[in-house]
Chains A and B, each alone.
Chain A
Amino acid sequence: GAGVSQTPSNKVTEKGKYVELRCDPISGHTALYWYRQSLGQGPEFLIYFQGTGAADDSGLPNDRFFAVRPEGSVSTLKIQRTERGDSAVYLCASSAGREETQYFGPGTRLLVL
């Protein structure tokens, strides 16, 4: 079956603009995670969904970041008023349950000019 997919693969935007990043998890996976990875660093947790609800959003850096998963499948990470420091690879992962292996998507490489 298909793995986790993310679109777009690359996004270039200007400072101050709004962006949306999409994640399509593995079919049937109830848990979905967003991470952010800067160059030379490990992925850093942003938010975790169990079903439709955000079970833990403690990793979101500020209120410019928001994520939704309205039907418990596809998720969208939304960043308002982008800043240059938001430039990173945004990774999405999904898992089948609470302790299951997380499967990562290819990521969206965001560049804020």
Chain B
Amino acid sequence: GQQVMQIPQYQHVQEGEDFTTYCNSSTTLSNIQWYKQRPGGHPVFLIQLVKSGEVKKQKRLTFQFGEAKKNSSLHITATQTTDVGTYFCAARLSGSARQLTFGSGTQLTVLP
């Protein structure tokens, strides 16, 4: 089963409101990645976080990696209708693993 927990499962926001999705693991992660999947599309890589406490920004998106490297968040400021989609976090659960373990995703709906 999934070893990377992600909440919330769904989020509806009014256009212009902020949005945050959270990802948690019981184990320390070497790094964490975030993907966006548009309805009917495939996951598209957004960013990778590696360092404890790391914060990265991409325009209106802010990504954080927790100090203990067990949790991460994605925050979108002033959502737009183009932000609609499902946001997944993904991690390699061990140093030797090459495959990614994905969270269950947060499906974002932005109401105009």
Residues of A within 8 A of B (CB): 31, 33, 35, 40-45, 48, 50, 55-56, 59, 91, 98, 101-107
- CB pair A56–B99 under 8 Å, yes or no, is yes
**Can you list 29 residue pairs at the A/B interface with Cβ under 8 Å?**
A33-B99, A35-B102, A40-B104, A41-B105, A42-B6, A42-B88, A42-B102, A42-B103, A42-B104, A42-B105, A43-B43, A43-B100, A44-B102, A45-B100, A45-B101, A48-B98, A48-B99, A50-B98, A55-B98, A56-B97, A59-B99, A91-B43, A101-B45, A102-B45, A102-B100, A103-B45, A104-B42, A104-B44, A105-B42
Q: B80 on the interface (CB 8 Å rule)?
A: no
Interface centre among A31, A33, A41, A91 (most CB of B within 10 A): A41
- CB pair A43–B102 under 8 Å, yes or no, is yes
Q: How far is the CB of A101 from chain B (nearest CB, A)?
A: 5
- CB pair B105–A56 under 8 Å, yes or no, is no
Q: How far is the CB of B76 from chain A (nearest CB, A)?
A: 19
CB neighbours of B112 from chain A (8 A):
none
Give residues 9-43 of B contacting A (CB, 8 Å).
33, 41-43
Bound Cα distance from A44 to B3, whole angstroms: 11
CB neighbours of B44 from chain A (8 A):
104
CB neighbours of B104 from chain A (8 A):
40-42
CB neighbours of A40 from chain B (8 A):
104-105
- Tell which of B2, B48, B99 touches A42, judged by Cβ atoms closer than 8 Å: B2
CB neighbours of B90 from chain A (8 A):
42-43
Bound Cα distance from A106 to B40, whole angstroms: 9
CB neighbours of A42 from chain B (8 A):
2, 6, 88, 90, 102-105
- CB pair A56–B98 under 8 Å, yes or no, is yes
- Which single residue of chain A is at the shortest CB-CB distance from B6? A42
Q: How far is the CB of B24 from chain A (nearest CB, A)?
A: 14
A33-B99, A55-B98 known, 9 other contacts, Cβ within 8 Å: A42-B6, A42-B104, A43-B100, A43-B102, A45-B99, A48-B98, A56-B98, A104-B43, A107-B42
